[in-house]
Amino acid sequence: MDGRLIAIGDIHGCDAAFETLLEQIQPQSEDTLVTLGDYVNRGPGSREVLNRLLALRHLCHLVPLLGNHDELLLEGMRLQELERNTNRDAGLGGDEFNEEHRQFLESCRLFYETETHLFMHASYEHNRPMLKQDPDVLVWQRTRNKWPKPHQSGKVAVVGHTPQRNGEVLDLGYLVCLDTYCWGGGWLTGYDVRQGQIWQVDRDGRVRTESVSE
């Protein structure tokens, strides 16, 4: 199969980390880049992150997934309460979003499936095919201390949403969690799911130089 298949964990408005991570990965036109959601909130540059994602669509095959924070923002935009209400209540820092941002968020998928891997923001129901999954589970369900069983398909699941506060990728063999707590002092993680290569950058854009993969 041509090109790399790379997943990126929860960005949460950490635009400097996202920009530097992309510089490290150097996505090419034949690569598939799966972003696992939660593009906004907590970090300083939610708008900048969305703008970078919009530009990425012209550089590679971008597969953006919907995170729970993105869903909250989208609901606020639909209610026309973005600047005065939703941003304040959700802690989004008063960023100004536009119609192109709204359309992008509406285009985000609930999951992505390949011959070997499943990708979603939060979690999954192990005994249901992906087309019959509960959207709330895919976008919202916390998995800390109650990780799901291996999916019935036998494919490896790649998720975010549940922060690994030690900054390390969680690898259970059948499930990999890439939310490595960038906004809270950890790292933003990119993961080549076929080659096993990992890239990590902190919220200030500093690249992790010590080994992060065995």
Does pLDDT of 89 surpass 90? no
Domains in the chain with CATH codes: 5-201 (3.60.21.10)
CA-CA distance, 77 to 181, in Å (whole number)?
26
- Phi, psi (5° rounding) for residue 157? -95, 135
**Measuring CA to CA, which residue among 86, 22, 81 is closest to residue 48?**
22
Does pLDDT of 85 surpass 60? no
**Predicted model pTM:** 0.89
Q: Residue 9 burial (CB < 10 Å; 0-12/13-18/19+)?
A: buried
CA angle 112, 115, 117 (to 5 degrees): 50
Share of the chain above pLDDT 90, in %: 81
Does pLDDT of 81 surpass 80? no
What amino acid is encoded at 12 in this protein?
Answer: H
